[in-house]
A and B are shown apart, each in its own frame.
Chain A
Amino acid sequence: MKTKNFLYSQKVAPYVFVLPFILSFAVFWVYPLITAFTMSFQKITATKTAWVGIANYTKLLKDKVFLIAVANSAKYMFFTLVLLIPFPMIFAVLMDSNIVKAKGVWKAILYMPALTSVVISGTLFRLMFTEYKTGQMNLISQALGFGTYKWLKNGWSGMLALLVLACWRWTGVNMLYFLSGLKAIDTSLYEAADIDGATPIQKFFRVTLPLLKPTTIYVLTISVYAGLAMFLESYMLWAGNSSPNNIGLTIVGYLYKRGIEKNDMGYACAVGVVLLIVALIINFAQLIMNGTFKKED
């Protein structure tokens, strides 16, 4: 009788349902998070572990390479926000309108890159951006009358390669988010706007944009993380974790370099903790500014 009461209790049931998530969340996220935090105060060598206080963090502040990594990640994040929010939004609006024919084909073409492995696409982009004269980018630049260029050896063109890869890969995904957001907008609002004589531009700015806000905030939030945590694209583009003058080094790349390549887990954890803090600050600032925490009416 008691078990039956327990099972049918409306108070308990929700907890039972969320239990699998809570458990995996605790074991795979919370526990490593706490361990990483404690490890960041330690010096971990092959056979012994010693507490070193905040030595890892003070070293981090003086570490020029880490600052380069932070700057690269921040730049990359900023440009992916600039490129991967407005354009997918416009594509989504076009897909939702009557202007575009054969929508399924376009959607498939834009979405396809997201299905390929970054390992493969990164390698292909590396070959395209090679400084050798047979690389795709150099063929184009030679056809246009500029000579060959060392794409992956200069800061701006290296970042360009990363951004081209990111746009190629993620435009379709973000477009799908916006498309689903657009489907949720009540068509009667557009009809009402038509009756009031609104132009398409006005409809976009007065109806579509405000009502897409929840989707935009979601895309913005995940793009901030994705931008700051980017690693594999850079790893594949430079065929390893070392790029000339560290132009492609990201925060996670630096973490990998310290933790795996140099087997210095304590220092790598300090890098990870800083990344977490930076991401939290940016996202909380962004969410507060967007009014996500405001009291619902």
Chain B
Amino acid sequence: MKKKLVSILLCAAMTATLLAGCGSSADTAADSGAAEETTEAAAEETTEAAAEETTEAAADETEEAVAAEEEIPTSTFGDANGTHLEMWTFVELHGQHYGKMAEIWNEQNPDRTIEITCTTYPYGDMHTKLLTSLEAGTGAPDICDVEVGQYPNVVAGLDQWLVPLDDAASPYMATMVPARMQTYQGEDGHYYGAPYHVGATAMYYNVAAMSEAMGISQDEVIAKIDAVVTWDDYVALGEEYKTAIADDSKYWTSVDTGGVDWLWIAMAEYGEDWTGGFEGPANVQLDSVKNMLSMQQEWLKSGLAQISPDGHVDLEAGFQNIMDHNIVSFPKALWYMSRFTNYMPEESGNWYIAKCPVFEVGQKCSVGIGGTGTVVTQQSEAKELAAEFLCWAKMSDEGEQNIWDTLGFDVCNTAQWGVDAFAHDDNNQFNQYFINYPYDVLNEIGMDNIGKISVVAISPTINEYACTTTLNEVLEDPDYSIDDALQEFQDAVDLEQ
């Protein structure tokens, strides 16, 4: 009898060990998986639509990020006698940006020099570590990158955890894109995060393919694209292209079942926000969403659009689809430029960037997607200095210049947008790749025409349900009732709020 008891206990112990073992390996798995996100194209986190930024710069440093899994790259920059700052990031290039900026800072401020140590962790690891150390009240770095999808979890601690950046950012606020600053606001209205980029959406057009199919010169195609103002114009141009090419396997655009970018654009145009912001409640049954989805259903039925292979354009199949010229236009944030240069170099010189069409004339025509907000923690021993340095490194002229040169983002400080040496630098790879200058498009859009969709606690739920269920229902079956799908969507969201 005793023996039996012992054997049962042993079995229970064994089961628990094994299971715990499985659990923990799943955790590391999650981490390495998440690390891969950084490498692979973070767009893969279709769950967090807003999460795409991870990739932006990360995309071109696959090797570094992979190395990050094996060993944690730590680099120290600046003056060894200066104030020491600890910085965590999940993209090594971001760390190098701060290193470069620290050296310029030390030249400009010889009496307040700093030394900064940047540590690159895998994506999942870094956010978990940061949250744990903030909760524990010890162990957090002075400065930390926070990916926008994870931002609600971090900003929940408000000024108990983070240092408000309002004062440090004030010298730059007049020219900062307001929507981007608001993205990183806390519930109390203070700014807690400094942005790298706008992530403004624009429409990418394959002018070369269009000109060949339609038998007109590239300049004529560009003139036609520039004349597009509303979605109706966009559809008319698409039909013209479809008629000219007369090929059922070629489409005007592709719609996403695994990403919510199209819906974000629609909401920004109507000035709506399905999260409801901090006050809530979230409401997904919006006119903008209905209009966009019913328009997409029409496109699918008429053969104007296809469904993006594997769900959205920011995956390998999407790149291939673009390179095969199966689609010749699509809207995406400006950081998608780096996908062109990294994954589709042979398309150089074919593509043109233009404003997104709108539903009604006078609406906003862009929305900021993705991003990383950098925060200063309350655990820092040099909060003011850290905040001042951070805002300077991410918002000043020097900072923006380095962000555009090394990271290739559409910077948030509009003061730079009009500077010729900055925006029209022909040595810049993006300026070389595209037919027009990306910053000309930004200037044309204008900082006040860039909308914002809040990223709050309910956001992951909304994005996830849209990508797993609603978009699949509505687009895979273009006859599916949009009202029914949105009702289901709303019910699922209501369960969580």
Chain B residues with Cβ below 8 Å from A208 are none
Q: Is A226 at the interface (CB under 8 A from chain B)?
A: yes
Chain B residues with Cβ below 8 Å from A257 are 47, 464
Chain B residues with Cβ below 8 Å from A215 are none
Inter-chain CA distance A236–B257, complex, in Å, is: 18
Contact B317 A283 (CB under 8 A): no
**Interface size on B (CB < 8 Å)?**
62
Task: Determine how close the nearest CB of chain A comes to the CB of B385; give it in whole angstroms.
Answer: 26
Chain A residues with Cβ below 8 Å from B457 are 262
For B316, the closest partner residue in chain A by CB is A127
Of A96-104, A106-114, A240-248, the segment with at least 4 beta carbons within 8 Å of chain B is A240-248
Task: Determine how close the nearest CB of chain B comes to the CB of A40; give it in whole angstroms.
Answer: 14
Contact A242 B46 (CB under 8 A): yes
Contact A235 B29 (CB under 8 A): yes
Chain A residues with Cβ below 8 Å from B410 are none
Chain B residues with Cβ below 8 Å from A225 are 15, 18-19, 22
Contact B468 A232 (CB under 8 A): no
Q: Which of A104-161 contact B (CB under 8 A)?
A: 117-119, 123, 127, 130-132, 134-135, 152-153
Q: Is A91 at the interface (CB under 8 A from chain B)?
A: no
**Contacts A239-B44, A242-B47 hold; do A292 and B461 have CB atoms under 8 A apart?**
no
Contact A229 B15 (CB under 8 A): no
Of B4-12, B169-177, B235-243, B279-287, the segment with at least 4 beta carbons within 8 Å of chain A is B4-12
Contact A232 B33 (CB under 8 A): yes
Chain B residues with Cβ below 8 Å from A11 are none
Task: Determine how close the nearest CB of chain A comes to the CB of B368; give it in whole angstroms.
Answer: 21
**Interface size on A (CB < 8 Å)?**
61
**Contacts A32-B20, A229-B22 hold; do A279 and B15 have CB atoms under 8 A apart?**
yes
Q: Is A33 at the interface (CB under 8 A from chain B)?
A: yes
Chain B residues with Cβ below 8 Å from A287 are 11
Contact A244 B468 (CB under 8 A): yes
Interface string of A266-277 (1 = CB under 8 A from B): 000000100110
Q: Is A82 at the interface (CB under 8 A from chain B)?
A: no
Q: Is B411 at the interface (CB under 8 A from chain A)?
A: no
Q: Is B167 at the interface (CB under 8 A from chain A)?
A: no
Contact B310 A119 (CB under 8 A): no
Q: Which of B1-48 contact A (CB under 8 A)?
A: 3-4, 7-8, 11-13, 15-20, 22-24, 26, 29-30, 32-33, 36-37, 40-41, 44-48
Contact B23 A272 (CB under 8 A): yes
Task: Determine how close the nearest CB of chain A comes to the CB of B25; give it in whole angstroms.
Answer: 8
Chain B residues with Cβ below 8 Å from A284 are 11, 15
Chain B residues with Cβ below 8 Å from A228 are 22
Chain A residues with Cβ below 8 Å from B472 are 153, 244-245
Q: Which of A1-56 contact B (CB under 8 A)?
A: 25, 28-30, 32-33, 45-47
Q: Is B277 at the interface (CB under 8 A from chain A)?
A: no
Chain B residues with Cβ below 8 Å from A221 are 18
Q: Is B429 at the interface (CB under 8 A from chain A)?
A: no
Chain B residues with Cβ below 8 Å from A153 are 257, 472, 476
**Contacts A131-B310, A295-B3 hold; do A123 and B47 have CB atoms under 8 A apart?**
no
Contact A261 B22 (CB under 8 A): no
Of B71-79, B153-161, B202-210, B224-232, the segment with at least 4 beta carbons within 8 Å of chain A is B153-161
Task: Determine how close the nearest CB of chain A comes to the CB of B433; give it in whole angstroms.
Answer: 24
Interface string of B192-211 (1 = CB under 8 A from A): 00000000000000000000
Chain A residues with Cβ below 8 Å from B45 are 240-241
Contact pick for A262, options B36, B46, B461, CB 8 Å: B461
**Contacts A119-B32, A236-B33 hold; do A46 and B26 have CB atoms under 8 A apart?**
no
Q: Is B135 at the interface (CB under 8 A from chain A)?
A: yes
Chain A residues with Cβ below 8 Å from B48 are 261
Task: Determine how close the nearest CB of chain B comes to the CB of A114; give it in whole angstroms.
Answer: 14
Chain B residues with Cβ below 8 Å from A28 are 20, 24
Chain B residues with Cβ below 8 Å from A62 are 495
Interface string of A238-265 (1 = CB under 8 A from B): 0111111110010010001100111100
Contact pick for A25, options B7, B17, B44, B46, CB 8 Å: B17
Contact B128 A260 (CB under 8 A): yes
Contact A239 B40 (CB under 8 A): yes
Contact pick for B44, options A45, A240, A276, CB 8 Å: A240
**Contacts A33-B16, A263-B131 hold; do A119 and B161 have CB atoms under 8 A apart?**
no
Q: What are 10 residue pairs bridging A and B, where the CB atoms are less than 8 Å apart in the complex?
A: A46-B135, A46-B161, A131-B309, A132-B321, A134-B320, A229-B22, A239-B315, A240-B46, A257-B464, A295-B4
- Per CB-CB distance, the 10 closest pairs between chain A and chain B, nearest first, are A46-B156, A229-B22, A239-B44, A232-B29, A132-B317, A132-B309, A263-B153, A29-B20, A231-B26, A242-B47
Contacts A260-B128, A295-B4 supplied; 20 other A-B pairs, CB < 8 Å: A25-B17, A28-B20, A33-B16, A119-B29, A131-B310, A132-B309, A132-B321, A153-B472, A232-B30, A235-B30, A239-B40, A240-B37, A240-B47, A241-B45, A244-B257, A252-B23, A256-B26, A261-B464, A276-B16, A276-B19
On A, residues with C-beta under 8 Å from B are: 25, 28-30, 32-33, 45-47, 62-63, 117-119, 123, 127, 130-132, 134-135, 152-153, 221-222, 225-226, 228-229, 231-232, 235-236, 239-246, 249, 252, 256-257, 260-263, 272, 275-276, 279-280, 283-284, 287, 292-293, 295-296
On B, residues with C-beta under 8 Å from A are: 3-4, 7-8, 11-13, 15-20, 22-24, 26, 29-30, 32-33, 36-37, 40-41, 44-48, 124, 127-128, 131, 135, 149, 152-153, 156-157, 160-161, 257-258, 309-311, 315-317, 320-321, 457, 460-461, 464, 467-469, 472, 476, 495
